[in-house]
Structure 1
Amino acid sequence: MKKLAGSLFIAFMAGALTLAGYVLFFQKSNYIVAEPRTPLVTTSATNTSFLGNMEGVDFTVAAEKTVNAVVHVTNLSVSKPSRSYEWFYGSGRGGTPQVGTGSGVIISADGYIVTNNHVIANSQQLQVTLNNNSTYEAKLIGTDPNFDIALIKIEPDVALPYLAFGDSDDSKVGEWVLAVGNPFNLTSTVTAGIISAKARNLGQSRNQTFIQTDAAVNPGNSGGALVNIKGDLIGINTAITSQTGSYVGYSFAVPSNIARKVVDDIMEYGNVQKGILGISAPRANTRYAIENGLNEIEGVYVETVEEDSGAADAGVTKGDIIKKIDRNTIRNFSELIDYINSKSPGDTVNLLVEREGEPMEFEVILKQRQRLMVPVMGLEVKNLTEAEKKKYKTDTGVKVTGVPEVYRGYGLEDKILVAIDGKEIKNIQDARNLFGAISRYGKTVITMLNENGEREKLIFQ
């Protein structure tokens, strides 16, 4: 009995000491950390307060200006039937209706709306719902899959509130921004964050860059507005990086200067007119770049200069390092492409380059892109030179300059593609559009010319 009493007393005292230690150390520590008067550690010598800066930020004006100019876009499409269904019942029916949703931004009082290409892709019917719940049928004006931008139009009964494009080049890392859209069908949702990075390349294409923010963006936000605290449209929300499909801290927007150029080109020409410098640069962090010290260069190392390009005409050569373009400091290839993407053929840019340690300036007139990689099959094609037209005895078509591994062995190398499914290819823009329209469920007939000017056909299932 005495042994039992002694054990109970020891256990009681141990528990009491543990509780006292918890209260003394942990509760007191938590209280001190949460105390608002506790000094904050900063990363600069500036005597500032995070809370003080927050109190000076007012999002209400930007939110009120933006919510009525952001719309809900509904995309009705019909999925293709399975091959087994086509075999038994034919391909004329059996598709499954599908509904996709996203956001859009009104950019004119008469109903022009910019959104993402992936929001309206494969649509049979487009519907737009305004913030006041008015609903309109929309028609597609034009689209550019490369930049994931589309322009649609509704016919409103009254003048609509709209957002004017701001200058995304003027935006700064650390600047407050708002993302406005319709995540998970929740209309008129506003989230706040800062610009985390500019000219961010996601690795899908070296020719596309984004504004990165930490404003919460989720499925349904695509095509919505990214605005600064003045309510200026500086981006079109496009993508998130997530393993779950939902927001985890990073979101990306097409810069407004690029979106505006795409919209202007669609309205004036029907497609995007892209100006290029005509240079290529080695990829960062590759073995070649590391071994040659190119990763340590602040600027863009010119690896090749395309023949007959604006850069070649101006005198830019291999080995030059581009340091500035139009007085904008260039630290990497993404920043260079981010600026060039907002320009058109015929525009003039000024380059400051370093050549063998000496600064040099060049005035470059941007030219129309002469080569690109077509969608679906991934072939690299180029416009024909006058000499090639004479050699192959044709005035139209594009030359195949690169073939992915999966299509090697089909004899596509150096051939001239003149038609797809009977539709003529005049230039690389035609090639991009026709390859983009290839159906994955049927056959595709490619007509091409060999070096003797003879026609050949390839049929792909």
Structure 2
Amino acid sequence: MPRPNPPAKTLLALSLAAAFGGFFATALREAPSPAQAAPAAAALQPTVAALPPSVAGQPLPSLAPMLARVTPAVVSVHTKQRIRVSPFGNDPFFRRLYPELTQERINESLGSGVIVDAAQGLVLTNHHVVEGAEEVSVTLSDGRTLQAAFVGSDPDTDIAVMKIRPQNLTAVPLADSTALQVGDFVVAVGNPFGIGQTVTSGIVSAVGRSGLRGLGYQNFIQTDASINPGNSGGALVNLNGQLIGINTASFNPRGSAAGNIGLGFAIPSNLANDVMRQIVATGEVRRGTLGLESQHVDPQLAKALGVTDPRGAVVTRVYAGSAAQAAGLEVGDVIVGANGQRIDTPDALRNFEGLQGIGRAVRLDVVREGRPLQLTATLREQPRSTAGAEIDPRLAGATFAELPERLRQGGLSGVLIESVARGSRAARNGLQAGDVVIEASSGRFADLAGFRANFTQAPAQLILRIVRGNRPYLVPVQ
């Protein structure tokens, strides 16, 4: 599925976002984008790492015995993808006019992965490591190279599952990542810069880290263990040799080529395991949703709503038949907490929802007319896509989908046109796959559910405001 090109400001934000650990050795030799500026240094408490004298009552003069059990489960991931390169970039007119100038090249990349089930040959890695790959292979620590079959992936948590031949494999056991504490010692194992398997150590710097632009749904473990390009998809383990996270990103204001500065992030093992189980069972990840829209609480709005602290997500719309409606949420309610987690912004609420499963009960801390109360909602399925004909006949032939969360975190909002059937009404109206619909004359919306809800009474004149190739367009739909 083609991915939409965000507007210029959003593109800049994404180009300044996290420098992912995947190390891309392309024939094009493209320079890496600068990384998102790290959080303010003043907000980080420096801690000097020093190994404890013992673990579980046993002296620990070296990490070697533990690593001897772990390193056979960490693999190097090699991907290949055929790409067509033209001096005219993506301009379709000139590409058609001068097809002889378009060349096919092989784009290769390197990353890491972790064997988590030796009997089935299941390997966890990052979605961005294998995204778009036509051929994937893994190299084990004993030198064997095996072809890998793609099982499935979840772009919004950056988790992918592969399968290799289950022959003489070693798996790393999973730990309960909710038991992690700041200050716990951790070890990262991966293939940085493609130089071969490498081990680095450090401590847990923070847990539950979110709010990092351009990285999808977030509940990261932050560590000062060195995580460099190529470490993506590798293992973050505790001193007992148990997997506590999948390394996914590192930050450096000077860009990924500058290497590690002690700001690395990993996906918790509990989240990675939950995503993997869904992918193996059904081939996809299904998420629950409250079914509401919300906005920021500024000081003026907080005063009007009787909220002493200007934070939270004020409910501006409750969808019919939603979990929010069943729980008794009302327009004007301010959600300030969920399952004991602090909710400061609508983005924080959306991030919380995206990490929950269907049917999960959520305890909401709400302020209504200045009075605190608690409501319990049972999350319902969040639709991933819908046919345009089900929304409005004028959109027949187009398929609309939720915007990838990493683009939403980068500042874009709306819905994605996932596909457009050739010769369909949507195609005749000028809609194209990859377009992002950010506004419509049918009414305001923040996501796919809101877009659908606006067509309860179809507008006489339908005009869509879309973003295509970094440029906004108005599209009258007949």
Same fold (TM over 0.5): yes
Given the alignment, which residue of 228, 242, 246 partners 1:232?
242
Question: Aligned ranges for residues 217-296 of structure 1 at < 5 Å?
Answer: 217-242=227-252, 243-245=254-256, 246-282=259-295, 289-292=298-301
Could you tell me how far apart the structure 2 residues matched to 1:240 and 1:290 are?
35
- Give per-residue Cα distances to partners, 1:411-446, cap 9 Å, x unaligned: xxx999795254999xxxxx99x749xxxxxxxxxx
Question: Aligned ranges for residues 325-404 of structure 1 at < 5 Å?
Answer: 325-326=338-339, 328-330=340-342, 332-333=344-345, 339-370=352-383, 383=386, 389=390, 392=393
Hey, what does 2:327 align to over in structure 1? 314
Report deviation, 1:361: 2.8
Mean Cα deviation higher: 173-182 or 415-424:
415-424
Could you tell me how far apart the structure 1 residues matched to 2:83 and 2:263 are?
31
Structure 1 contact 275–346 (Cα < 8 Å) conserved = yes
Could you tell me how far apart the structure 2 residues matched to 1:231 and 1:201 are?
29
Report deviation, 1:74: 0.6
Could you tell me how far apart the structure 2 residues matched to 1:244 and 1:263 are?
31
Hey, what does 1:153 align to over in structure 2? 163
Give the letter for the 1:79 counterpart. Answer: I
Unaligned runs of 5+ in 2: 1-46, 89-94, 404-413, 426-430, 436-454, 470-478
Could you tell me how far apart the structure 2 residues matched to 1:151 and 1:400 are?
23
Structure 1 contact 322–330 (Cα < 8 Å) conserved = no
Q: In the alignment, does 2:420 pair up with 1:420?
A: yes
Could you tell me how far apart the structure 2 residues matched to 1:153 and 1:205 are?
25
**For 1:311, what is the secondary structure of its paired residue?**
helix
The structure-2 alpha-carbon separation of the partners of 1:233 and 1:393, relative to structure 1 and needing over 3 Å to count, comes to same
Could you tell me how far apart the structure 2 residues matched to 1:62 and 1:319 are?
54
Question: Aligned ranges for residues 131-150 of structure 1 at < 5 Å?
Answer: 131-150=141-160
Structure 1 contact 196–213 (Cα < 8 Å) conserved = yes
Structure 2 contact 302–310 (Cα < 8 Å) conserved = no
Report deviation, 1:366: 0.9
The structure-2 alpha-carbon separation of the partners of 1:391 and 1:134, relative to structure 1 and needing over 3 Å to count, comes to closer
Q: In the alignment, does 2:209 pair up with 1:199?
A: yes
Given the alignment, which residue of 303, 315, 318 partners 1:303?
315
Structure 1 contact 127–136 (Cα < 8 Å) conserved = yes
The structure-2 alpha-carbon separation of the partners of 1:137 and 1:52, relative to structure 1 and needing over 3 Å to count, comes to closer
Structure 1 contact 210–253 (Cα < 8 Å) conserved = yes
The structure-2 alpha-carbon separation of the partners of 1:392 and 1:416, relative to structure 1 and needing over 3 Å to count, comes to farther
The structure-2 alpha-carbon separation of the partners of 1:422 and 1:296, relative to structure 1 and needing over 3 Å to count, comes to farther
Structure 1 contact 276–340 (Cα < 8 Å) conserved = yes
Could you tell me how far apart the structure 2 residues matched to 1:221 and 1:273 are?
28
Mean Cα deviation higher: 240-249 or 349-358:
349-358
TM (norm. structure 1) is 0.65
Could you tell me how far apart the structure 2 residues matched to 1:68 and 1:353 are?
49
Structure 2 contact 399–419 (Cα < 8 Å) conserved = no
Could you tell me how far apart the structure 2 residues matched to 1:363 and 1:321 are?
14
**For 1:68, what is the secondary structure of its paired residue?**
helix
Given the alignment, which residue of 66, 69, 88 partners 2:73?
69
Report deviation, 1:252: 1.3
Give the letter for the 2:324 counterpart. Answer: A
Same amino acid, percent of matched pairs: 31
Given the alignment, which residue of 86, 105, 119 partners 2:114?
105
Larger radius of gyration between Structure 1 and Structure 2: 1
Hey, what does 1:44 align to over in structure 2? none
Give the letter for the 1:301 counterpart. Answer: A
Could you tell me how far apart the structure 1 residues matched to 2:391 and 2:343 are?
43
Structure 1 contact 274–343 (Cα < 8 Å) conserved = yes
Hey, what does 2:199 align to over in structure 1? 190
Structure 1 contact 76–98 (Cα < 8 Å) conserved = yes
Structure 1 contact 397–416 (Cα < 8 Å) conserved = no
- Give per-residue Cα distances to partners, 1:356-397, cap 9 Å, x unaligned: 4544332211122247xxxxxxxxxx7479xx8486399986
The structure-2 alpha-carbon separation of the partners of 1:170 and 1:306, relative to structure 1 and needing over 3 Å to count, comes to farther
The structure-2 alpha-carbon separation of the partners of 1:266 and 1:225, relative to structure 1 and needing over 3 Å to count, comes to same
Report deviation, 1:323: 5.1
Give the letter for the 1:55 counterpart. Answer: P
The structure-2 alpha-carbon separation of the partners of 1:101 and 1:351, relative to structure 1 and needing over 3 Å to count, comes to same
Hey, what does 2:175 align to over in structure 1? 166
Structure 1 contact 107–164 (Cα < 8 Å) conserved = yes
Given the alignment, which residue of 91, 107, 120 partners 2:130?
120
Could you tell me how far apart the structure 1 residues matched to 2:100 and 2:192 are?
38
Structure 2 contact 125–234 (Cα < 8 Å) conserved = yes
Report deviation, 1:225: 1.3
Mean Cα deviation higher: 358-367 or 307-316:
358-367
Give the letter for the 1:310 counterpart. Answer: A
**For 2:228, what is the secondary structure of its paired residue?**
coil
Could you tell me how far apart the structure 1 residues matched to 2:214 and 2:230 are?
21
The structure-2 alpha-carbon separation of the partners of 1:292 and 1:88, relative to structure 1 and needing over 3 Å to count, comes to closer
Could you tell me how far apart the structure 2 residues matched to 1:401 and 1:51 are?
42
The structure-2 alpha-carbon separation of the partners of 1:122 and 1:207, relative to structure 1 and needing over 3 Å to count, comes to closer
Could you tell me how far apart the structure 2 residues matched to 1:250 and 1:51 are?
14
Give the letter for the 1:231 counterpart. Answer: G
The structure-2 alpha-carbon separation of the partners of 1:77 and 1:319, relative to structure 1 and needing over 3 Å to count, comes to same
The structure-2 alpha-carbon separation of the partners of 1:89 and 1:401, relative to structure 1 and needing over 3 Å to count, comes to closer
Report deviation, 1:63: 3.1
- Give per-residue Cα distances to partners, 1:256-291, cap 9 Å, x unaligned: 2332232222222222211122345545xxxx6355
RMSD: 4.4
Q: Which has the higher contact order (CA 8 A, sep 6+)?
A: 2
Question: Aligned ranges for residues 39-50 of structure 1 at < 5 Å?
Answer: none
Could you tell me how far apart the structure 1 residues matched to 2:67 and 2:402 are?
49
Could you tell me how far apart the structure 1 residues matched to 2:294 and 2:66 are?
40
Could you tell me how far apart the structure 1 residues matched to 2:85 and 2:184 are?
48
More helix by proportion, 1 or 2?
1
Report deviation, 1:314: 0.6
Structure 1 contact 298–323 (Cα < 8 Å) conserved = no
Report deviation, 1:167: 3.1
- Give per-residue Cα distances to partners, 1:180-215, cap 9 Å, x unaligned: 111122333221222222232212267434222211
Could you tell me how far apart the structure 2 residues matched to 1:150 and 1:342 are?
16
